[in-house]
Amino acid sequence: MSIQFYQGDCLELIKSIPDGSVDMVLTDPSYSSGGLFAGDRKASTRAKYCDTDYNGAARFQNFSGDNMDQRSFTEFMRMVLNKCRQKSKAESVCAVFVDWRNIAAMIDALQAAGWVYRGIVVWDKGNCRPIPNRFRNDCEYVVWGTNGPRKTEYIDGVFVGAGCYHIKSVPTKQKHHQTEKPVELLEKLLAICETGGTVLDPFMGSGSTGVAAVNTGRNFVGMELDPGYFETAKRRIEEAERSVV
Ligand SMILES: C[S@@+](CC[C@H](N)C(=O)[O-])C[C@H]1O[C@@H](n2cnc3c(N)ncnc32)[C@H](O)[C@@H]1O
């Protein structure tokens, strides 16, 4: 199994990957979200996503890239996803997390980057507080597409994924990153990529996608801009490698 990580801006780093080498892009970029108005979005990520110190949430360092307005976010994601597509094989899959506020922007960005838009997978986190006179926002979304056509024959052992996964968020006390995704969920999403395939995560945060790739026998290429989170990702992925040997 090959595991590679790079610290820096993914827009630059992606250039170093060989063209046509990636089987799946599975990533969770900074959503540039956390509020409806420009002023709300510009707050620090700690203020937006951990507004109390409940269960030690204030221990997290802030993370980068979360203060774009919606037009800048769409264009930035188009550039990143376009570079990812250049590095991806024909029929490969791109799956990108987003929340309800920027989902339309992400669908536009994925398509403008040249991926064939295939739909949305729902992650039911099951832990949103009830708000009177409103529907709950207790789901996040995975916008996904393919690099051109992708086979759909029913053959023995073929992957058939769900449209919705009910998996609890990581409890705050156990988190390594403010917006960490559960490894169990990532493993289920990675199942669409063949065992032994190569997974690219240009926004790896604390490395949850890398841990899921190691646990399920996929190669991994991860990138992270913030040195603190990069070190956490490296440590977690190396621990996962030791525990599967
Ligand atoms: C939503 S978090 C990912 C969390 C991750 N899924 C986890 O479970 O820990 C997005 C990460 O992307 C990083 N980031 C933002 N802009 C970046 C860029 N241009 N290049 C690389 N990483 C970037 C942020 O520092 C942040 O840690």
CA of 204 relative to ligand 1 center, distance in Å: 5
> In angstroms, how far is the first alpha carbon of the chain from the final one?
11
Which ligand 1 atom is the nearest neighbour of the CA of 176? 9
Structure pTM? 0.95
Helices (runs of H) and strands (runs of E) counted in the chain: 8, 8
Q: Residue 62 — φ and ψ, nearest 5°? A: -65, 160
- In DSSP notation, 105-160 reads HHHHHHHHTTPEEEEEEEEE---PPP-TTS----EEEEEEEESS-------TT---
| Measured distance CA(64)–CA(59) in Å, rounded | 16
CA of 28 relative to ligand 1 center, distance in Å: 7
pLDDT per residue as tens, the chain (245 positions): 899 999 999 999 999 999 999 999 999 999 988 776 777 777 888 887 876 677 777 788 888 888 898 999 999 999 999 999 999 999 999 999 999 999 999 999 999 999 999 999 999 998 777 889 999 889 999 999 999 999 999 999 899 999 999 999 999 899 999 999 999 999 999 999 999 999 999 999 999 999 999 999 999 999 999 999 999 999 999 999 999 87
Which ligand 1 atom is the nearest neighbour of the CA of 208? 8
> Which domains, ranges and CATH numbers included, belong to the chain?
3-244 (3.40.50.150)
Mutate to test the pocket of ligand 1, among 68, 125, 224, 237 (most ligand atoms within 8 A of CB): 224
CA of 197 relative to ligand 1 center, distance in Å: 22
CA-nearest residue, atom 13 of ligand 1: 203
116-124 vs 22-27, strand pairing mode: unpaired
- From the list 174, 66, 184, 210, the residue with the least C-alpha distance to 125 is 184
Which residues have a Cβ under 8 Å from the Cβ of 6 and sit 6 or more positions away? 13, 16, 221, 222, 223, 224
Per-residue pLDDT tens over the stretch 21-66: 999 999 999 998 877 677 777 788 888 787 667 777 778 888 888 8
3-7 vs 164-166, strand pairing mode: unpaired
Which ligand 1 atom is the nearest neighbour of the CA of 226? 25
CA-nearest residue, atom 3 of ligand 1: 205
CA distances from 113 to 46, 74, 76, 122, 159 (A): 30, 10, 10, 22, 26
